[in-house]
Amino acid sequence: MSNQTPFPSQRWRLSVAPMMDWTDRHCRYFHRLLTQRTLLYTEMVTTGALIHGDVPRHLRYNIDEHPVALQLGGSEPADLAHCAKLGEQWGYDEINLNCGCPSERVQRGAFGACLMAEPQLVADCVKAMVDAVSVPVTVKHRIGIDKLESYDFVRDFVGTVAQAGCQVFIVHARNAWLKGLSPKENREIPPLRYELAYRLKQDFPDLTICVNGGITGNEQIIDHLRHLDGVMVGREAYHNPWLMADWDHVFFGEQPSERSRETIEAQMCDYMAREAAEHGTPWSTMARHMLGLRHGLPGARRWRQAWSDHRLHAQPAHQVMALAHGATAASAES
């Protein structure tokens, strides 16, 4: 018997995509400073990494990150159930199955986007996880693979997986080409077809359907929310993080924030100092995630250069911040 209970769809109203090498716990902490309500996702963690590797290294996070979801990569139902249970025990708010990554390395592991060709296997994986945990089990997938561009393909995939107990689908509105394109090209070359995500919502009105892919601003988010339950933003949130600063107000009805970029930067410096003291983590591994904070502002390049200067690695983070602001002021005066 399933442990699952209905979950409020507003939880998925807005989220930041799982991005390999980017959305680690330091990145998520930074994003949480900008928005309290947006759902955050881990990088994809493979079942093999959790079963055979260092579980705390992969699952440790800061309690301030909630709501935070764990994305898993795998294709063995028993392994996924075990890892989903680990995620729940560690306190994650959701377990997400990756059925969208097109990289050859992921394909060699027989998971990611290639799983879309085996909807019954995905359904078996989902059922095993749904039966193992009480938190939501969700699926992130593409609209098709290779040259399979028929709506029927993604409709049947969602229908099959939904019967196994998945209530939430995050649709990257591009096909995944499994051969001939790099992961980067797979995010750019296959055309975006948001209308297929809209049709899924029409055909499955009781499911929570969210869209991902090519979304760069609030106007697009508002347009998609007229048709769908949620929007997931990827690289734009990373490269232009200040975009998220008003999301709690615009999309969740919270009071407008009085925070400034400087306030967020100072809070990140406090975090860097704590991480250095408690775990010996160099500030440079954390500061890289906030290099887009002054995106589009005068002096932004000089500010980024200071935060990227390897010669300053021995300096405390707050001192680097002072140097970065000095460089920005000097640039404005020149």
CA 246 to chain CA mean position, Å = 18
Q: What is the largest CA-CA distance in the chain?
A: 69
Backbone angles phi, psi at 75, to 5 degrees: -145, 5
Strand 14-16, strand 68-73: pairing: unpaired
Q: In three state form, how does the secondary structure of 268-282 look?
A: HHHHHHHHHHHHCCC
Looking at residue 147, its amino acid is K
Catalytic residue among 101, 125, 166, 269: 101
Nearest to 197 by CA among 46, 72, 12, 73: 12
Comparing CA positions, the residue from 192, 323, 309, 243 lying closest to residue 35 is: 243
Helix 317-333 and helix 300-307: axis angle, to 10°? 150
210 given a catalytic annotation: no
Which residues are annotated as catalytic? 101
